Structure formats: structure tokens, C-alpha cells
Amino acid sequence: MTTTRDALEQLRSALAGVLAFDAAGGCSDDELLATMGALEAVGRVVDAHRAAYAGEVAERSRVELGDQRLSTRHGCRSAAELVERVTQVSGVEARRRVALGSATRAGVGFTGEPLEPPYPLVAAALAGGELGADAAGTIIRELDRTRPVADPASFAAAEQALVTEATGRGDGAPVRCTADELRVQAQAWSIFLDQDGPEPDDERAMRRRGFRLGRARDGLIPVAGDLMPEVAAKLTRLFDAHLSPRSGGGFMTDQERADIARNGETRTADQQRHDVLAAVIDTAARSGEHPSIGGAAPTVLVSVRASDLETGRGVAHADGVEVPISLRAARHMMCTGGTQKVVFDDDGRIITLGSPERCFTPHQRRAITLRDGGCLIPGCSVPAAWCEIHHVIPDAHGGPTHPDNGVLLCWFHHRTIDTSGWGIRMHHGVPHIRPPAWLDPGGGWRPITKSPTRLADQRERREPDRAA
Ligand SMILES: [Zn+2]
């Protein structure tokens, strides 16, 4: 007798015989696309059955069964975990299959009569190989949220319309839409189905709100989440306030200001929003109003080998993120946050513990703020409270942690100060700045401040000349 399992095994070897793994390379363009479509059709059938089996595992693992749950008997906490263990797919994929399988599985009533699956049309299209698992999952995810409140007839109409869109069967829908296009339509339906007003929406939003850091990708950490509308509104205002280029710099002519407004900003809007967020985070961490960690204000520990810093080759590591950070980032953080030198012997024992960090104190910061007023780079509107203090002569080169050697720079201008071409130096304790050559060819050093009180001083000194 041939079992389903034997038949699948035969099918698998038959498929391996039909498809050479590198065959795609030898296809013409037309063959390539046609074969890809045909493969997907096979995949849809396989996916439908994968979901069906996962749904059955879930059914046999339902909570009422207690110790007799299939998952429990196999030492798993849930049906999804059992699916995960048997198939070696990710937890996300296992849960997706269980959800899809459960939503498209026919039930059995108390007296043994068959019950329709929760999504009969999705189930039929899935079983027929017309609907892919991700499209089916999209329909179910979006509609499920409205099921408790939706009118049943409208709910059925929504399922019908979405399945028709996805399978291209209906009139006027000759082109099947992709799972992403389907999501947009499904969301429109879900809004239509749940018009219950703001109260339930708000509760749902409160449940679903979230913010998370993802796994590192290409040296960057993705963020994702869902903000409450009022939080998004405040964040948007904060971004807007700093996204428009503004004039700045007391010494500049209108023409120079216009040049900088036109040429000075090389960041995209996304990049500028990132930098605003960087400043907000720094400001918040500095505020002293946050819970301490082990008695200290929340501080990021960055470790780097002194020899790497000297040669300029290697990486640094920051606590709490898995990807290494660049030496330039490490230098930037050292300039703002200070350093402590720790020397190990060959066995790894600590033999020298350097003096603690060289950080500007709050009262030094207040003094520097009065003098500089905000990020010193002309055209930059980042206010003093959001700025970092840059050691003009680095601590490592003997630069003191003294107001005469510290100036305000925003996160971005501090991070790029070595490469941007802007020059900063101190002259008798007054910051002077020199624009990059591309911005101001032949330009020299000029004193700079954005401090309103110092600008008022300068105006006052000019007044008597004019009167005379
Ligand atoms: Zn700046």
C-alpha cells in the first residue's frame, strides 16, 4: 500500500529529476518567467497542505485536551513549537502556518456534523492552488480584527471580494494582485467593516502600540513599530522643526547664508530625521531624570583597543548592539563621553586602570552654551540643549576638558567634523570657524557664535559707530 508519505517522497525525487538546480541560468527570458510562475503554482499547493497539516497539529494540541495535547506529549509548549521542531522553520513561519491552517480548517460540531471553516472561500482557493499562503494570510490577518464587530453579511462579502481580487476570477479583475496590493485592499475593507468610532479604535491602538529594534543588517539596526497617533504627531513636529534649512551665523552676509542654505545641507530628509533622533536620545540620557543602571546614569560602554585607535585599523564594540562600530564612531563617542584607559597583561589581568573619563561638567556645559548658543556650524539649527561638546584639541592629544577647548556641535556635525571640511579652532578662548573650500574658496577663519546674548553684545558694540 502506498501511503501519502511514500507518494510525497516519490514526488520529491521526481521534482528533483525534472528541475536541475542551476537550470534557471540556461533559460531564455520568457522561459525564466514562465517556469518561475509554474514553480509558484506547485509551491502554492505545497503551502496549502503545509498549512493544513499545521492546522491539524494545532487542533490536536488545543488547550482543552490538557495532558493529552499532541504538543504536550511531544514536550512542546505549543502547536507552533511542535511545527517548528518537526519542520525546522522559524517560529514566525510556524505560527503563520498554524494560523492559516486553523482559519481554513473545517470543524466538527458537537453532534459530529461538519462545520464550515472560519474562512470558507479562502480555504477553497487555497486548496485549489489558486491563492498563495501569504495572500491568504493577509486576508485573514486584516479581516480577523474586525470579526467581533463586523456585520456577518458584510464580512462574507469582504472575504469574497478579496479572494476574487487575489485569484483574478471576478469580472473586471483579470490581473491577479500581489500579496502587498491585496493588503492595501484588505485594510480598506477592515476599516469599512469596523466603523465603531474612536473608542474601540483607541483601545486597540493602545494594545498594538510598540517600538522595537531589529537585528543588525548591513551594519545598521532597523527599527520598527507602531506609534500612537499623538506620539507620532509630536515626533513629526520635532522633526519638522529641524528639517527646514535656516540661516545662522552672526558673521555671515545674506549671500553667504543663502549659499549655505542652498549647498550646505547634503543630508536626505531621512538622514536628518535620524540625526534629530540621535540628539533627542543624547539629550534625554543627559537629563539625569532617567532610572540609573547600577547607580550610574544610563551610559553606553564602548570598548576599543588602544593599538587599533592608534593605527586607525580595527573596530570598536558598544554594549547592547551586536554589530561592531567604526573607529570614527568610537572617537566621536570618546570626544563627547570621555575615556578610561585599561591595560591588561598577556594573561588578561588588569594591570593599569586609568583615571576616569574626561567629561565636561554640567556647569562647564552651561558656560559653553552661553558662549556658543547652539551647533556652531552655520546653517545648522540644532539648539544648544541638543548639542554635544566637542574637544577642539582631542583629549588624546593633550586637549584639556576646559571651556576654552570645548565647543557645541550637533550629533551630525560632530560625527562628520573630521571629514566635512569645516575647521574649528579656539583663539583666546573664542571659537573660530573656517568653511570648507567647496563652500567658501579662499575663506579664512572667522569668530562665530549663535548665543543671543553675545549677538546682542556685538550689535551694541556696533551701534555707537553708526551713531557717530
Ligand atoms: Zn550642526
Query: Residue length, the chain?
Result: 468
Q: What is the pLDDT of residue 251?
A: 44
CA of 74 from ligand 1 middle (Å) equals: 59
Judged against a pLDDT cut of 60, whether residue 356 lies above it is answered with yes
Ligand 1 centroid distance, CA of 270 (Å): 16
- Report the candidate in 166, 133, 102 with the shortest Cα–Cα distance to residue 40: 133
pLDDT digits (tens, 9 = 90+) for 361-383: 888 999 999 999 999 988 788 88
pLDDT tens sequence across 138-165: 999 989 888 888 888 889 999 998 998 8
The confidence score (pLDDT) of residue 259 equals: 54
Which amino acid is residue 456, in one-letter code? A
Q: What is the structure's pLDDT at 228?
A: 87
C-alpha cell of 346?
598577556
Residue 137's pLDDT is: 93
Q: pLDDT (tens digit, 9 = 90+) per residue, 432-453? A: 998 888 777 777 888 888 888 8
Whole-number pLDDT of residue 146? 85
Number of H-type helices and E-type strands within the chain:
18, 13
3-state secondary structure of 209: coil
In this structure, the strands spanning 406-409 and 423-427 are unpaired
Summarize the confidence of residues 171-197 as an average pLDDT: 77
For residue 246, how far is its CA from the centre of ligand 1 (angstroms)? Answer: 11
Is the pLDDT reported for residue 411 higher than 50? yes
**Single-letter amino acid, residue 88:** Q
Distance in Å, CA 386 to ligand 1 centroid: 10
- pLDDT exceeds cutoff 80 at 407: yes
Long-range contacts made by residues 295-299, C-beta under 8 angstroms, separation at least 24? 299/337
Q: What is the pLDDT of residues 255-313, one digit of tens each?
A: 555 555 555 667 888 888 898 888 888 888 777 665 665 656 667 788 888 888 888 88
Amino acid at 145: R
* 194, three cell numbers: 469596523
Contacts of residue 293, Cβ cutoff 8 Å, sequence gap at least 6: 299
Contacts of 324 (CB under 8 A, 6+ apart): 315, 316, 317
> Per residue in 104-126, is it b (16+ CB within 10 Å) or e — as a string?
bbeeeeeeeeeeebbbebbbebb
The average pLDDT across 316-342 equals: 81
What's the pLDDT tens digit per position in 95-141? 999 999 999 998 877 777 888 899 999 999 999 999 999 999 999 99
CA of 376 to the centre of ligand 1 (A): 7
| Cβ atoms of residues 133 and 93 within 8 Å | no
- Three-state DSSP state, 216: coil
